[in-house]
Structure 1
Amino acid sequence: MDRQRNTQLEAVMAKYGFTHQSLAKEINRITAQIFGETHPRKCTDRHVRRWISGEVQWPWTRYLHALEQLFDRPAQALGFIPRGKHSANLPAPPRPPAPTKEAPVRRRRFITAPAAAAVALALNIDETPVSGRLSMTDVARARERIDRLDAHFSAIGGQPLLTVATAYLDRLSTAADHCTYGPRVEQALHTAIASLCSSAGWAADDAGNLDAAHLWRTTALQRAILGANHRAQARAWSDLAVHARRGGHHREALRISQTALTSREARQDPRYAALLQSRLAIGHARAGDRPAAARALLAAQTAHDRINPTEPAPRWLNFLTAAEISGLAAITHQAMGHLADAETVTAQALTLLDPGLRRSRAYYSVQLAELQLAQGNTAGARTTASAIDTTRVSSQSITGRLATVHRTLAAA
């Protein structure tokens, strides 16, 4: 069989910052976990070089299991070629050893609340090293955990995740202070911490702690600057605009949104442009500039139409669907006093919304009930409010607004 270089494995190694030696080390760690034993022949950088060169096109089963687990894709998607049709079906690995009693105790030093504990256990946040040498692989794992935390936020709200996010921030900050690493890892680590700070800001917002939300959002911007990551900076500026608006500082929110829109990301990435233009529209509406708000709304929709659905979005931007664009447009219409238009567009957002985005559904359902009340449609508001299910969403800001709706209805 002709030797063919494994460019797929080479590409995924480069993506996650693996060298030949660091990949071999990681494979040995994973095989020890899977097989629960110390194999006399360890994987070395020579094995990895032979895989990449194509000298070995189908490694030993134990190494293939480790590679599949590490990169979360089948061996053939990593460029390996089976020896025959039967070898392509890897035998199932042995069950991993049962967890020791120490692991849950060790994790409980971070989390005590039941909902938060379940998320923390699922994310394994205490497996991030806090001493020794930190690699791009370690940062990639941290990044993956932060992305999963963002997915939990969209599903259940941020209130139970605040403890998880702040605990993980403590751990990553400890890693930054006590581990050794090169400049590339340092920038990636600052960027990961910036993303986690942004997540913590939204979690604090949902918990009703606006002071903490502001702290985390300003810290996110600082870390994004240290990481020299313009996307993280654009995200932090956007979140600070939201915070200023909620504090009633509409001119400040407007200026921050305008600053964020000058970023390269806003010019080149339609997703960022759509989000920032939507928030700029709200800022103009709150500041009383209706023509500018209308122009920003049009720019947001135009940017959203330019999004290529085949290009993956950053995990934290997964919420930015056509439904979200409609929901943000409704907030702009409401701020301009166009309540009927705001109600129509909010209803449209709820129709378009993905079922898995339970927090967004609760948020915009409450918004719909508020708009109906504001127009004197008590019957419609009562029907909307009674159908809102917040049992699986933990957000003090949403439940507080819903409680206000119910009190208003009771007094009507």
Structure 2
Amino acid sequence: MEGNESLSRAMQERDLTQVELADAVNALLVRSGYGGTVSDRTVRNWVAGKTRWPHPRQRDALEAVFGCTAGELGFSPPARRRRPAGEPEPPVDRRNFLTTSTAAAAAVVFPVGAPPRVGTSDVIRLRSGLDALLELDRNRGGHEGLEKAALAGASDALEKQKLGATQRIRQRLFSVAADYTATAAWSAVDARQMDRASQLLGRALYLAGMAKDSVAKMRVWNSYAMLAHHRGEYADAVDAAYAAQGTTIARRQPFFASLAHARTAIGHSNLGDRQAALRSLGHAQESLGKAEKGEPLPSWIAFYGPAELMAMTAIVRDRIGDSAESEAASHQALRTIPKQFKRNRALATARLALAQLHQRDIDQACSTAATVFTLMSGHPIPGRMRSLLGDYYRDLITLAPDASIAREWGDRYRTEWSRL
């Protein structure tokens, strides 16, 4: 007997256990004036495919919980048979049922008079809001509005955590709050608000610990490594990257391990340790090759993959003096970084300009650096990118102090490069 893969997938997408789905369906039935008789065994039969067409009231409740039809959930009615006279199917007022249950489906509902509680659907709603903020970050980069919105999301999650229906739900809400706070921290890093970022990362790490969430911890240590990098605290950046490697998720899933190794490679390159940097890059590439294709990943790490690893390779290679290899890695990254990651493409372009500059290809470097502003047209330049362009200009006037193109580049782009 085949299992119901559609229902299993829908439960996984909403992070619902069999017990939680039974509770949600029962709550809707009770709220609608019927008895709640669904057990986890009932759900197990649905998932296993033993029950192919649930009772009409249960079907309506399932449709209300998941927001789709029973057919889309993998159920199918039995072959039609002639019903004996006097054996009509119990009528269900579908419109009234769904009207009554729609509001209830927004959370795991409790009977009238019970204290307000929150459940899995609240977690799902909060995470969808987080995804919207991450999309904004990909296009524009870190800024004050993004940070404030992320902190508001964290506050909302923590308020709901106080009303969590179960300990499991409360931990999930701590996890959501950790992710929102880490998003705010990352926005501060990108905007080069370093002290603020440090405070927020400390808070995010605490929340991740309360959630017992290894993925959130990995995210925070990754951001700590970047913060230390931008502060010039390179030994601390290596330590944070090793902490990211030590998280449970990095030990279990090669994809996360790859990012942690790549971050370690950058730290070693900044310390001038060529062999350690190249060794860490090799580990990053090997781990990425072992990662399962198509595995579900949190949205915050969607930026990472072969293209981003090439962009990070470009940084490492340039830092250890391999400018030609850095240029090649930057070109490879830019061929594959998705178009919607405008900020990442602009950063990779600036890195390409630096690699060309360090090979004394002054004209080409200036032309490449100019395209950064085209990529970011219509958006303020994030602080981290302004700093990188400042590094480019300082190297430009150091390596070619008498070149007219160096003065022209500075005169032409100083205003754009400084815009907030």
TM-score (norm 1): 0.75
2:341 aligned residue: 357
Q: Identify which of 68, 71, 83 aligns with 1:76.
A: 71
Partner amino acid, structure 2, of 1:173: L
Q: Which residue of 2 aligns with 1:267?
A: 251
Shift of 1:80: 1.5
What is the distance in 1 between the residues matched to 2:124 and 2:278? 40
Residues 1:271 and 1:337: Cα distance change in structure 2 (over 3 Å): same
- Amino acid corresponding to residue 352 of structure 1 in structure 2: T
The residue number in structure 1 matching 2:152 is 167
AA aligned opposite 1:66:
A
Decide which moves more: 203-212 or 368-377: 368-377
Please show how residues 20-39 of structure 1 align to structure 2 within 5 Å: 20-23=22-25, 25=27
Pairs within 5 Å for 1:98-177: 132-159=116-143, 160-176=145-161
Change (3 A) 1:191 1:303: same
Q: Which aligned pairs between 1:5-404 and structure 2 lie closer than 5 A? A: 8-9=6-7, 12-13=10-11, 15-17=15-17, 18-23=20-25, 25=27, 52=46, 54=51, 56-57=53-54, 59=56, 66-69=64-67, 75-82=70-77, 132-159=116-143, 160-176=145-161, 178-388=162-372, 389-391=375-377, 393-401=379-387, 404=390
Structure 2 distance, partners of 1:328, 1:168, is: 30
Contact 2:186 2:197 in 1 (8 A): yes
The amino acid that maps onto 1:134 is V
Per-residue CA deviation, residues 84-121 of structure 1 (Å, 9 max, x unaligned), is: 89xxxxxxx9xxx9xxxxxxxxxxxxxxxxxxxxxxxx
CA pair 180-65 structure 1, distance change in 2 beyond 3 A: closer
* 2-structure distance, mates of 1:204, 1:165: 11
Q: How far, CA to CA, are the matches of 1:406 and 1:25 in structure 2?
A: 63
Shift of 1:285: 1.0
Does the 8 A contact of 1:286 with 1:335 survive in 2?
A: yes
One-letter code aligned to 1:54 = T
Tell me by how many angstroms 1:402 deviates. Answer: 7.0
Instruction: State the partner residue of 2:90.
Output: none
Show CA shifts across 1:35-84 (max 9, x none): xxxxx767955599599473744847965753452xxx664342221578
- In structure 2, relative to structure 1, the CA distance for the partners of 1:253 and 1:26 (3 Å cut) is farther
- For structure 1, the residue ranges without an aligned partner over 5 or more in a row are 30-39, 86-92, 98-126
Distance across 2 between alignment mates of 1:198 and 1:394: 22
Q: CA deviation at 1:322?
A: 0.8
Q: CA RMSD in A?
A: 3.6
| Rg comparison, structure with higher value | 2
The answer as to whether partners of 2:10 and 2:66 remain within 8 angstroms in 1 is: no
8 Å CA contact 2:155–2:177 kept in 1: the answer is no
Q: Cα–Cα, structure 1 residues 54 and 364, in superposed 2: closer, same or farther, change >3 Å?
A: same
Superposed CA deviations along residues 22-43 of structure 1, whole A, max 9, x for unmatched, are 23546999xxxxxxxxxx7679
Match of 1:124 in 2: none
- The structure-2 alpha-carbon separation of the partners of 1:393 and 1:236, relative to structure 1 and needing over 3 Å to count, comes to same
Structure 1 SS opposite 2:355:
helix
Identity, % of aligned pairs?
A: 26
Three-state SS of the structure 2 residue aligned to 1:78 is coil
TM-superposed deviation, 1:341: 1.7
Q: How far is the alpha carbon of 1:378 from its aligned partner?
A: 2.7
Query: Number of residue pairs matched?
Result: 357
If the length of structure 2 is used for normalisation, what is the TM-score? 0.73
Instruction: Give the drift of 1:244.
Output: 1.1
Q: Which runs of 5+ in 2 are unaligned?
A: 81-94, 100-106, 110-114, 397-405, 410-420
144-153 vs 295-304, greater mean Cα deviation: 144-153
The DSSP-based 3-state class of the residue aligned with 1:244 is helix
1:363·1:398 contact (CA, 8 Å) conserved in 2?
A: no
